[in-house]
Amino acid sequence: MTDRIESAIQELPELRFLTSYSHAGLSIVKVEIKQEYWADRLPQVWDKMRNKVRDVRGQLPPPGGALTPDVIDDFSFVYGFVLAVTGDGFSYAALEEYVKAIKKELSLVAGVARVETWGVQPKVIYLDVSEEKLLELGVATEDFVATLALQNQVVDAGGLELGDRRLRISPTGEFERPEDIGELRVRTSLLDKLLDVPRDIQDAPIRPAQRDADYIALKDVATVRQGYLEPPINIMRHDGQPAIGIAIANVTGGNIVDTGKNLDAALEEIAKELPIGIELHRVS
């Protein structure tokens, strides 16, 4: 997979050289452009590279085998200000909400080009499955995975033509809470195999009660819980406390000293609105 992306990028006349790193489940291609292409011309070069990578996407393994390649070209920002936000007595979820609000406020400060957070943990939903129950109820692991893969997809449900108007059909039933996942019905396709039911009996008409018996709720074989990715990809601590970092970049050509004064004034106002326990710390 990596060599196909490399071959596409090597067609760029602006390319100086590239280096690739391949690991299980991860491929990184580092690209360096010729030095005569300065910042004013680089955006066009990156766009050309994106097109090259996009063209080769069809040669990659199908969905489930390879994700869409990401082209990351945003290395020009220098984050001269770094803050840490801690929340003594607050849950991580509550701390994250306060950090989002602080980030919005800092984005409006004069001289600030970009505000990024660091150390934020990805939210996930865990399904703790009992293999013993799967075997007991005759549910194949493949059935379990296939049921999850086919649910909650965003698809075009079509529309209805009424004269000169077209009404879009919008299906309902999407997941609104993690608990909704537990109500999914999984077909026990191994049931006939385990019982070794004769073919003529399998082909007999199935009554509704029998048909319902061939399906079980996902919550009968799994526990659904919401949480954060374990183990975490990256974490931040400040003086031993869990924290979320906020990195702030100055506008290109701006006076970083003036931006610092503006940030000091903004942080002073923000701190007045924060509850006791949520604290802002200047890291650098």
- Triad 20, 22, 27: Cα angle to 5°: 80
pLDDT tens readout for residues 129-154: 878 877 777 777 777 777 777 776 66
- First vs last Cα of the chain: how many Å apart? 40
- Per DSSP, the three-state class of 203 is coil
pLDDT tens readout for residues 47-93: 999 999 988 888 887 655 677 888 887 766 778 899 999 999 999 99
Averaged pLDDT of the chain: 82
Question: Which residues are CB-contacts of 172 (< 8 A; sequence separation ≥ 6)?
Answer: none
Handedness of CA 162, 173, 132, 227 (dihedral sign): positive
Of 229, 8, 237, 259, the C-alpha closest to 109 is 259
pLDDT tens readout for residues 179-222: 888 888 776 654 444 444 444 444 444 334 344 456 778 888 88
Q: How does DSSP assign 29-84, residue by residue? A: EEEEE-TT--TTTHHHHHHHHHHHHHHTGGGSPPTTT-PPPP--------EEEEEE
Please tell me the predicted confidence (pLDDT) of residue 213: 52
Is the separation of the CB atoms in 188 and 143 below 8 Å? yes
Please tell me the predicted confidence (pLDDT) of residue 110: 93
Q: How does DSSP assign 126-148, residue by residue? A: EEEE-HHHHHHHT--HHHHHHHH
Of 34, 83, 135, the C-alpha closest to 278 is 83
Does position 115 have pLDDT exceeding 90, yes or no?
Answer: yes
Average pLDDT over residues 241-265: 91
Domains and CATH numbers, the chain: 2-59 (no CATH), 79-122+233-282 (3.30.70.1320), 125-228 (3.30.2090.10)
Please tell me the predicted confidence (pLDDT) of residue 161: 87
Structure tokens at 95: 């701390």
pLDDT tens readout for residues 7-51: 999 999 999 999 998 877 788 999 999 988 887 788 899 999 999
pLDDT band at residue 155 using 50, 70 and 90 as cut-offs: low
Structure tokens at 280: 């802002």
Is the separation of the CB atoms in 284 and 89 below 8 Å? no
